[in-house]
Every structure is written in structure tokens, then in C-alpha cells.
Amino acid sequence: MKFSKLLSLLEDSTIQILQYGAADEAVIHGCQLWTREQGEFVPGFLYYIAEESSPMPPPLGVMLLYKNEEAVPQELLDGNGILILVPSGDNTAEQVFNQIQEALSLNSQFNQGTQLLMDALFSDFGLQHIVDTAFDIAGHPIFVVDTSYRFLAISYKGEIDHLKSPALIEESKMGHISDEGIAFINKVRLDETVRKSMRPYQFYNPAIEGNTLIDTIKIHGIEVARVMMYEGSKPFTRLDLVLMSRLTEIISLELRKTSFFKQNRGMMYSYLLAELLEHGEVNYKSLNDRLQLMGFELRDELKVMVVESTDSQLKNEARLEIIANYIREILTGSMYVVYQDRVVILISRSGAGITATEYARVNSYLKENELVAGMSVAFQNIQDIRRHYRQALKAAELGGKTYSKSSIYRYDDISLVHMFSICEKEEDIINFCSPKLLALLKYDKERGTEMVKTLHQYLLRGLSSRKTADNLHIHKNTLLYRIEKIREIMDSSLDDGDELMQLYLSFRILNYLKAL
């Protein structure tokens, strides 16, 4: 142990340094009592000189502790490179010697514990193995919880009984901190206090009627989780305090190996949202109440947006993080998660939903970066999120087969396209087209006319001759002539609702098949 580290472990004003030498860089391997029978001095050791007569001048790299300043021989003070210590304040040399022994023992235990934790990290057995190893070292129950208050790992669940806390035992079974627990955390501003602390924070926990150590786990400076150590059946020691800091660092390294934490960087609600996408439901008494405790309010209208790259080579973690961070600055108040190599956004709004400005900014960003987005229809119950996530995926996948020139495809607009993609697995969907429209298509091909285009615009404009003529940039009489010709070719009056619906559906099929 370096002498500078030893000083940090000793109580304030324990020793006075009479001669520095290279004190900060000096390394202490151990300490022992010096007697007259003592043989040669061993460099790197600290010797307590308890006898009246002083020893022969030791070699460089040896440290000496004397009873007091008067007991130090003058020739040693005149020398160089020997570290000489005496007690300070009300301490005796024996007390200082015992404190140094305790510090060296603590350092040895810390090094052994660190080695075991590093072995657990490199074993690739996962976070649970690391937490269980930490329990073996410290003997205290340990919980790791993400930013949505869900437990990622709990050391030896059977040992939780030592806490004699029904609430904590129940939470360990549920897999998350209870609503009451979150309310307590918010009330005492525990998260804020821990965040400001430069070291593991110790506080009295009424749930266990004992102390708890809590520290923040960060990845690249961003908070992703917390680790909590409970006193359990024995009180904390100084070793627990120093081991807690190392455990936090090692858990951070482990979570960096997990793609979910690398991609989401601890975004609030990310784990909860991923759980909903994975399972569709979660084990909470009231999901809405829980979200409110976490500071998120579900509005009247929910939608899922999925953003992904049109180029598979551009699907990398760093890019997904950039996309998520940019879009969340636009669509404020929404929930985000990087899930299955996609950015998934739960939009929670009231009334009109996404504003035109927000929509334009997102669409422009997507287009510039070769991205597409699919958006589900609106829904109210967040437990339905999986179905609407699939809608958004389909919208992003099939949106290119619509007339839309936007980079955001709404499921409302591609629901027919989705139906066609399902039907074509069983049947050539050209067979669902109106024979009359196919006859008109044949007429155009043979004569180079634009009857199909004219009819299409006529249907899209609600059979309004004025609007259709304006859109086609032709005279109204020209349009009326074409419409009459179309009626003749198709042998149709174009005034039957069912026939018009079939014609419109046929146009959608031809567009899907890129046959227009």
C-alpha cells in the first residue's frame, strides 16, 4: 500500500511526519514491533521502535515509528530518504501502530475482495454472479435496481430474511420497488442526495430498521442503475464502505457489456418500456400509478413510433443512441427505448397529439439521415403497446408501397397494404382487381392514352369534375369527354357505391404491385 493511501485510511491527526523522504511514493508491505534481537531491516516495512535505545541507521525504504519526537536520534533526522513518524494529538504510539496494522489488514482484504469481484466479472457468468460474489465477501444482502426501480439482481434471495423486513421481502418477490417505496424515495429526495454524494451514501432505512449503503452506477457519466447494500444481521465495517465503491465500478463494467444498457444509457422508463414491449404486461398493481410516481403521466392519446434505418449497415449502437437523443429533444414528454436495434417511442399526448412543427422536424431529420418511421394508430391502454408496436413496425416496413412521400408512415394509411401483404401469401392479388379497371388499363397500353390516370384522380377528388380538371391541368370539357369515354370502355355508369369502392380498392392493389 502506498503511504499516501495509508494516510487516507488513518484517522485525522494520527501521526506527524518528521522527515518525508519520498513519502507519497513509499510503499508499505507490513509493519512490526522492533526489538534489539531484530535482524536486518526489510525495505518496505514500518517498524515501531518501542525500546529506549535506537536501532542502527536503517537502509533507504524503511519507515520508523517512534514514541515521540524526543526519542528520535539526531543522526536519523540528519539523514535522507528515511520516513520517520511520531504520534500526534492524544494518540499513543501503540494506538498509531494498531491503526496502521488495521489499515494494512483492511487493504489486504480489499485487494482480495477486488480480485474475487474481477474474477466474477471476467467469468462472463453475468450480473447475478457478481452480486452473489459480493455477498460472499461482505456478508450483506445486495440489490441492483435500474432507473425504473426494477431489480436487475438480488444476492442470495434466501438471505433477505435476515433483514426482517416484510416489505423488502415482498419487493424481492415482485421484482421491483413497491409504489410505497418509490413514494418514500421521492419524499426524502433520496435519489437527489445519492446523486450529489461523491461516495457510497449511508442512511438509516426505516424499512429494515437499520443502515443501507447506496451508490450510483454510471456508464460514460450517465446514471443507469443503483446498487444497495443492507446491514442485515451485522453492522457495516470500513471494508464494506471501500468495497462498495469497487463493486459499483465492476457492475458498471458488466452493464457496459449488455447491449440494452449501452444503447439506452439509463434513460428513465427504458427498462419498463422494454418489458412492456417484450411481454405486454408487467407485475405492478397499477401501471398508471407507478408511472406517475416516476414522474410520467399517461395522456388521453398514446401512439407508438418505430424508427429504423433503411440500410442494415447503418444499424449500429452509436447511431441508434444519436437518433434517440435527437428525436427525444423534439418529441418531449415521451418515453424512449432502443429495442431490437430500433428506436421505439411511446408518444403520450392530449388533444391534437404531435404538432405540425414537431412532425415536420422529425420527418426532415429522418429523410436527411436515410431513416424511416412507422406510427401506430392511437390507443388508450398502455398494456396494448405490443400490438401497436407491431403496427408501427408494419408501417415502417410497408410504407414505401404507398403514395406517401413522407419518411413517417402511419398505420392508418397502410392498413390496406398490410392486408394485401397477408393476402398475397395465399393468392395472386391481381385477381382481386376489378375486370373493368383491367380492361381500361389494357386500353391505355394499346392506345397510349391516360384514361386510368384520369379515373384515378376522379375517384381521389370525390368525383368532382372541377377539382379533377384543375389537378390534371386540363379543361373541364376535356375531362368530361374522358369520363364519358371511360364509362363507355368500362360499361359503367360510375355512380354505384359498391362498384366505386371496388375500383378504389383495385387502384390500391395496382399501386401496391407497382403496376401503374
Residue 96 to residue 119: CA distance in whole angstroms: 34
Cβ atoms 344, 337 nearer than 8 A: yes
Asked if the structure places residue 185 within a domain, the reply is yes
The residues, any chain, with a CB within 8 Å of residue 453's CB and separated by 6 or more, are 472
Cβ atoms 443, 489 nearer than 8 A: yes
Residue 149 to residue 181: CA distance in whole angstroms: 9
Considering the domain architecture, whether residues 23 and 71 belong to the same structural domain is answered as yes
**Which of 377, 393, 423 lies at the terminal end of a domain, its last residue?**
423
Cβ atoms 1, 104 nearer than 8 A: yes
Asked if the structure places residue 283 within a domain, the reply is no
Looking at residue 491, which CATH number applies to its domain?
1.10.10.2840
Cβ atoms 225, 201 nearer than 8 A: no
What does the CA dihedral 263, 266, 268, 272 come to, rounded to 10 degrees?
70
Q: Which residue has the cell 526519542?
A: 71
Indicate the pairing of strand 408-410 with strand 371-375.
parallel
Considering the domain architecture, whether residues 135 and 76 belong to the same structural domain is answered as no
pLDDT at 220: 65
> Which residues share a beta bridge with 154?
143
Indicate the pairing of strand 342-349 with strand 301-309.
antiparallel
> Which residues share a beta bridge with 302?
348, 379
pLDDT at 306: 94
The number of domains in the chain is: 4
The residues, any chain, with a CB within 8 Å of residue 469's CB and separated by 6 or more, are 475, 476, 478, 479
Instruction: Work out the widest C-alpha separation in the chain, in whole angstroms.
Output: 128
Considering the domain architecture, whether residues 88 and 21 belong to the same structural domain is answered as yes
Considering the domain architecture, whether residues 72 and 163 belong to the same structural domain is answered as no
Give the CA distances from residue 207 to residues 177, 182, 204, 340, in Å, rounded to whole numbers and listed in that order. Answer: 12, 12, 9, 38
pTM of the model as a whole:
0.55
Phi then psi for residue 237, to 5 deg, are -120, 175
Phi then psi for residue 69, to 5 deg, are -70, -35
pLDDT at 45: 85
> Which residues share a beta bridge with 87?
15
Asked if the structure places residue 285 within a domain, the reply is no
Asked if the structure places residue 116 within a domain, the reply is no
Asked if the structure places residue 308 within a domain, the reply is yes
Looking at residue 393, which CATH number applies to its domain?
3.30.70.270
pLDDT at 286: 66
pLDDT at 96: 86
Asked if the structure places residue 280 within a domain, the reply is no
Asked if the structure places residue 111 within a domain, the reply is no
Q: What cell numbers appear for 371 in the block? A: 431513416
pLDDT at 340: 84
Asked if the structure places residue 274 within a domain, the reply is no
pLDDT at 470: 92
Considering the domain architecture, whether residues 148 and 251 belong to the same structural domain is answered as yes
| Strand (E) or helix (H) holding 32 | strand 30-34
Considering the domain architecture, whether residues 62 and 144 belong to the same structural domain is answered as no
Considering the domain architecture, whether residues 305 and 344 belong to the same structural domain is answered as yes
pLDDT at 501: 92
Q: What cell numbers appear for 423 in the block? A: 393476402
Checking 6-11 for CB contacts under 8 A at 24+ apart, the result is 6/100, 6/103, 6/104, 6/107, 9/103, 9/106, 9/107, 9/238, 10/96, 10/99, 10/100, 10/103, 11/99
Residue 428 to residue 410: CA distance in whole angstroms: 26
Neighbours of 313 (CB within 10 A): 6
Looking at residue 143, which CATH number applies to its domain?
3.30.450.40
The residues, any chain, with a CB within 8 Å of residue 407's CB and separated by 6 or more, are 363, 366, 367, 371, 372, 373
Considering the domain architecture, whether residues 344 and 407 belong to the same structural domain is answered as yes
Considering the domain architecture, whether residues 311 and 416 belong to the same structural domain is answered as yes
Considering the domain architecture, whether residues 413 and 440 belong to the same structural domain is answered as no
Residue 156 to residue 153: CA distance in whole angstroms: 9
Considering the domain architecture, whether residues 89 and 188 belong to the same structural domain is answered as no
Residue 378 carries which DSSP code?
A: P
pLDDT at 274: 80
The residue ranges of the chain whose pLDDT is under 50 are 158
Q: Which residue has the cell 404507398?
A: 402
Considering the domain architecture, whether residues 404 and 470 belong to the same structural domain is answered as no
**Which of 204, 230, 257 lies at the terminal end of a domain, its last residue?**
257
Domain with 490, as residue range(s), is: 429-512
**Which of 423, 455, 486 lies at the terminal end of a domain, its last residue?**
423
